[in-house]
């Protein structure tokens, strides 16, 4: 639900100022009674109203306020609705600004900003669930005369990105390193492959105190470099997941048994690599035997899982289906199950045809594979949320063991890094020891 301060597309590239934005203060800067009434109606929060009042006497007041923010948004409670909060987004424009659009969160088409009075401050409000967590960005549209002054040229520039974490967002405590938890080791290898007809780099994680007499679980991560990040590797909205730290913490807390992780580097050619059948053969028929030869691992395929996000989720499900006698678990985050086998791929927003993985599992007998499927409700509509539900339903009707989760978030590492521990526990989890912390916690317990 979006409050009246935000409009939906289509938009015209002209600045629209409301009646309240055009009111003039008297010489002292104090608003008249009619201006007060109009401003109360126009500006839906006390913060915006007070910014407007301050700007009547000092037009730089709004800019100073925005400059004081660590992110270009604030979150305020809604007294009558504890399940939601109100977000106000801010951006400083210029005399050339035509309009500003926000993208991200529950409003699929984005939100249009309004101008605060006579200032260069633009704002928009959005009502969101109190457990939402997503990334957002701003696009600024500007107008300049192009040659003939009667011709206006409109340009668009992406000017800002950030993460929004509501007060009750499901942040995982496992993404943070602890001085009390020993860190595992990550080593890089380059392995030749007859199936790929090339060499492929992998990063191998071994847990702290790895011993040759303790058989370890095996988890393969696609997009390996992104998963190998250190805690707090970058800004919260950027593309990273500290999988080694998450594994360190889960193993130390005995939520999962000792586990070896193989992070397959695929960032440079992921569009091709992650949907190829040759890749599945490389993982199951070359990489898995290499791991078993060099490390002490469990022989049980149940404790071998493949994990991926977006196209990596497609890759995980496809690898397990093609090699179910070797791989027993699929951890898919926002899996791109809209991908088809046709040369003309689906447009993921409005997929015309059923995806390849969905059709393959529909046509095959039940296989000894367990699934963890998760996706954000703000993620590409039918392309992600819909196809993940479709695959879930097919699997459940066939008798598969499936854990399916949805959350108030989008297609972003911000969500995936905080969800990963849930999937690992679901597929590799040990009975919970007493007096240990839960796998999820409210937002106050850990940073994004």
Domain positions in the chain: 20-165, 173-445
Confidence band for 29, pLDDT divided at 50, 70 and 90: low
The architecture (CATH level 2) of 173-445 comes to: 3-Layer(aba) Sandwich (3.40)
Confidence band for 440, pLDDT divided at 50, 70 and 90: very low
46-78 pLDDT, tens digit per residue, is: 999 999 999 999 988 988 999 999 999 999 999
Q: Which pLDDT score is estimated for 382?
A: 73
Residues 6+ apart with CB under 8 A from 72: 66, 89, 90, 91, 138, 160, 162
Residues 6+ apart with CB under 8 A from 357: 314, 317, 318, 321, 335, 337, 339, 391
Confidence band for 228, pLDDT divided at 50, 70 and 90: very high
Q: Which pLDDT score is estimated for 448?
A: 65
- 389 DSSP 8-state letter: H
Q: Is the pLDDT of residue 1 over 50?
A: no
Q: Is the pLDDT of residue 259 over 70?
A: yes
The pLDDT > 90 percentage for the chain reads 74
User: Closest by alpha carbon to 206, among 259, 242, 243?
Assistant: 259
Q: Which pLDDT score is estimated for 446?
A: 40
- Residue 295 has φ and ψ, to the nearest 5°, of -135, 155
Domain 20-165 classification at class level: mainly beta
Confidence band for 431, pLDDT divided at 50, 70 and 90: low
Q: Is the pLDDT of residue 435 over 50?
A: no
Q: Is the pLDDT of residue 339 over 60?
A: yes
* First-to-final CA distance of the chain: 25
3-state SS assignment for residue 314:
helix
Residues 6+ apart with CB under 8 A from 383: 336, 338, 346, 348, 349, 350, 351
Q: How many residues would you count in the chain? A: 448
Query: CA 413, 418, 419, 420 torsion: positive or negative?
Result: positive
CB atoms within 10 A of CB 23: 19
Q: Is the pLDDT of residue 27 over 70?
A: no
Q: Which pLDDT score is estimated for 13?
A: 30
355-375 pLDDT, tens digit per residue, is: 999 999 999 999 999 999 999
Q: Indicate yes or no: pTM above 0.85.
A: yes
Query: Where does 210-332 have alpha helices with state H?
Result: 224-227, 243-252, 270-273, 277-281, 288-294, 311-322
CB-facing half-sphere around the CA of 249: CA atoms within 13 A? 22
Q: Which pLDDT score is estimated for 147?
A: 67
Query: Where does 5-60 have alpha helices with state H?
Result: 33-42, 46-57
**Residues facing residue 444 across a β-bridge:** none
| Residue-wise burial string across 389-402, b where 16 or more C-beta atoms lie within 10 A, e elsewhere | bbbbebbeeeebeb
**Residues facing residue 76 across a β-bridge:** 86
Q: What is the mean pLDDT of the chain?
A: 88
4 vs 33, which has greater pLDDT?
Answer: 33
* Cα-based angle 113, 119, 125 (whole degrees, multiple of 5): 25
Q: Which pLDDT score is estimated for 9?
A: 36
Q: Is the pLDDT of residue 8 over 60?
A: no
Torsion of CA 408, 410, 416, 417, to 10 degrees: -80
294-308 pLDDT, tens digit per residue, is: 999 999 999 999 999
CA gap 196, 280 in Å, rounded:
10
Q: Which residue has the tokens 């393959």?
A: 360
Q: Which residue has the tokens 């990273």?
A: 240
* Mean pLDDT calculated for residue range 22-27: 41
Q: Which residue has the tokens 């992998």?
A: 202
What ranges make up the beta strands (E) of 17-147?
73-77, 84-92, 97-103, 111-112, 114-115, 121-129, 133-146
Confidence band for 148, pLDDT divided at 50, 70 and 90: low
Confidence band for 19, pLDDT divided at 50, 70 and 90: very low
Structure tokens at 292: 């078993």
- Residue 106 has φ and ψ, to the nearest 5°, of -75, -10
Least confident of 24-28, 102-106, 228-232: 24-28
382 vs 23, which has greater pLDDT?
Answer: 382
Confidence band for 80, pLDDT divided at 50, 70 and 90: very high
* Mean pLDDT calculated for residue range 122-145: 94
Beta carbons of 205 and 249 less than 8 angstroms apart: no
Structure tokens at 30: 């104090």
User: Closest by alpha carbon to 323, among 366, 276, 369, 284?
Assistant: 284
Q: Is the pLDDT of residue 7 over 60?
A: no
- 282 DSSP 8-state letter: I
* Cα-based angle 377, 380, 381 (whole degrees, multiple of 5): 65
């Amino acid at each position: 639900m979006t409050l009246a301060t935000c409009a939906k597309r289509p938009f015209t590239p002209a600045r629209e100022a409301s009646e309240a934005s055009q009111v003039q203060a008297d010489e002292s800067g104090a608003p008249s009674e009619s201006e007060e009434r109009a401003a109360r109606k126009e500006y839906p929060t006390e913060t915006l109203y007070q910014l407007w009042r301050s700007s009547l006497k000092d037009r730089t007041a709004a800019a100073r306020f925005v400059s004081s923010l660590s992110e270009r948004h604030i979150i305020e409670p809604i007294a009558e609705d504890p399940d939601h909060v109100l977000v106000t987004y801010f951006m400083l424009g210029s005399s050339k600004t035509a309009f500003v659009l926000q993208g991200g969160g529950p409003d699929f088409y984005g939100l249009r900003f309004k101008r605060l009075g006579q200032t260069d401050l633009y704002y928009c409000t959005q009502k969101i669930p109190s457990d939402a967590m997503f990334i957002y960005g701003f696009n600024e549209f500007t107008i300049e005369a192009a040659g003939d002054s009667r011709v206006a040229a409109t340009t668009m520039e992406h000017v800002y990105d950030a993460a929004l974490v509501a007060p009750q967002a499901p942040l995982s405590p496992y993404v943070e390193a602890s001085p009390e938890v020993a860190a595992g080791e990550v080593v890089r290898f380059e392995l030749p492959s007859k199936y790929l007809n090339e060499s492929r780099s992998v990063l191998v994680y071994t847990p702290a105190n790895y011993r040759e007499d303790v058989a370890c679980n095996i988890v393969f991560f696609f997009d390996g470099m992104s998963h190998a990040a250190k805690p707090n590797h970058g800004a919260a909205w950027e593309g990273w997941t500290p999988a080694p730290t998450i594994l360190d913490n889960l193993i130390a807390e005995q939520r999962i048994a000792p586990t070896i992780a193989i992070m397959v580097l695929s960032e440079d050619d992921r569009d091709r690599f992650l949907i190829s059948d040759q890749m599945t053969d490389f993982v199951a028929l070359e990489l898995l035997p290499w791991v078993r030869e060099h490390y002490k691992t469990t022989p049980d395929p149940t404790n071998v899982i493949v994990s991926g996000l977006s196209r990596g989720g497609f890759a995980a499900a496809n690898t397990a289906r093609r090699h179910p006698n070797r791989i027993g678990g699929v951890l898919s985050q926002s899996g791109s199950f809209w991908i088809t086998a046709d040369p003309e791929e689906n447009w993921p927003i409005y997929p015309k045809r059923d995806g390849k993985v969905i059709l393959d599992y529909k046509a095959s007998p039940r296989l000894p594979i367990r699934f963890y499927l998760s996706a954000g409700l703000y993620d590409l509509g039918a392309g992600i949320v819909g196809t993940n539900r479709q695959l879930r339903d097919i699997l459940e009707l066939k008798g598969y063991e499936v854990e399916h989760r949805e959350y108030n978030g989008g297609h972003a590492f911000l969500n995936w890094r905080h969800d990963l521990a849930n999937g690992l526990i679901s597929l590799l989890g040990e009975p919970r020891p007493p007096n240990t912390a839960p796998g999820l916690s409210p937002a106050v317990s850990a940073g994004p």
